[in-house]
Amino acid sequence: QENLVQSGAEMKKPGASVKVSCQASGYTFTNHYMHWVRQAPGQGLEWMGIIHASGGSTSYAQRLQGRVTMTRDTSTSTVYMELSGLRLEDTAVYYCAREEVGGRGAFDIWGQGTQVTVSS
Amino acid sequence: EIVLVQSPATLSVSPGERATLSCRASQSFSGNLAWYQQNPGQAPRLLIYSASTRATGIPARFSGSGSGTEFTLTISSLQSEDFAVYYCQQYNGWPPYTFGQGTKLEIK
């Protein structure tokens, strides 16, 4: 069964960094692009960036440029999202999502979400 | 960057009735538009991609239409489990991908 499993909740202080993992199973990891999407409390979905699971190329949302880094480990079928210089407004649930094959840009499988709380 | 605006922000409909949700883009694009459903405390679920194609396992009461800048999600006969928040999302060949701000579908 195709599945994405994310790491557990994190609590960080302002200025710190957080690294969230997302492990894929049940499909060929390198055939897909992977995305990160976040959702602040009571808010909508915000696209953060994309990583090609095979080649590792990335593209990030402009407002997060310089603070976000996405990487992958093909040996464990895992993608990572690291966000540095955390601010209170980075408090959110962070999701990884798989882009379906076919180039149509839809996210067909989602992780369960990781709560990241930034608090002093 | 393409901006998506969803309307209405909240839609109140009775079970068994039809719901129509709108998503308007700031510029015309390829039509790679998806719709997602999100229940409280859960991850979003893909309903529709390429504007009108239902994802695997999605009931036929969900349908998508539109092109250019105007897109619509229609739920033909609302079931209790359909009351949720719905998001549209676009992909125009390269990042950034963007989401609309969401429509909350509530029981009337």
DSSP state of A49: E
pLDDT band at B94 (very low <50, low <70, confident <90, very high): confident
**Burial letters A13-46, b for 16+ CB under 10 A, else e:** eeeeebebbbbbeebebeebbbbbbbbeeeeebb
What residues of B are in contact with residue A51 (Cβ under 8 Å)? none
Q: For residue range B50-92, list pLDDT tens digits in order.
A: 999 999 999 999 999 999 999 999 999 999 999 999 999 998 8
Q: What is the mean pLDDT of chain A?
A: 96
Which pLDDT score is estimated for B30?
79
Instruction: Looking at the complex, report in whole angstroms how far the Cα of residue A18 sits from the nearest Cα belonging to chain B.
Output: 20
Q: For residue range A55-93, list pLDDT tens digits in order.
A: 999 999 999 999 999 999 999 999 999 999 999 999 999
Instruction: Looking at the complex, report in whole angstroms how far the Cα of residue A68 sits from the nearest Cα belonging to chain B.
Output: 15
